[in-house]
Chain A
Amino acid sequence: MAIEVRIPTILRTYTGGEKAVSAEGATLASLIDDLEANHPGIRDRLVESGEGDGVDLRRFVNVYINDEDVRFIGGLEAELSDGDQVVVLPAVAGGC
């Protein structure tokens, strides 16, 4: 089950400069584990420790599955199917 993952400029140091990589997983969480296996270090840029023992998507990282923000479709538990496209984009944000 191959899923295309679009990688933003700032994370391409983990993918050897590739703008898109292929990964596998039935959920976003397992997809990120698979990414980590092939591109060590990338996981920590996407998730952080959450409540209890869990992990959450980092607040200022946006992940989309087929153009939907995963925050609205289950977050890390969002389900994936063969041929889905995942896009990772850092938030453009700041403040004084």
Chain B
Amino acid sequence: MLEHDSRLILLHPDDNVLICVSAIEAGDILPVSGGTIPAREGIAIGHKIARVALAQGDKVIKYGAPIGSMTAPVVAGQWVHMHNMKSDYISSHTRTALEQGA
């Protein structure tokens, strides 16, 4: 499990993601239970990072509430965003999708 430090905050004890409050670069050392791991990718302020390993189809929990589902598995410490999770309500859209006329 990813531990929260000064770069990360936990909004609710039930959450399975932490929120990045200062930028993390690829290779930065992240604290996990019983040790450390290098960050696989850069993560910007406000973005989510997996607190635990998540499987495809798992609910993503933030504020203690489900905010969508995983579309791909991640390990603790990975970035969670449009590329590996989706809304369970209205499909989100990105600027790229808009430009492509989606």
A and B together in one complex: no
Interface residues of A (CB under 8 A from B): none
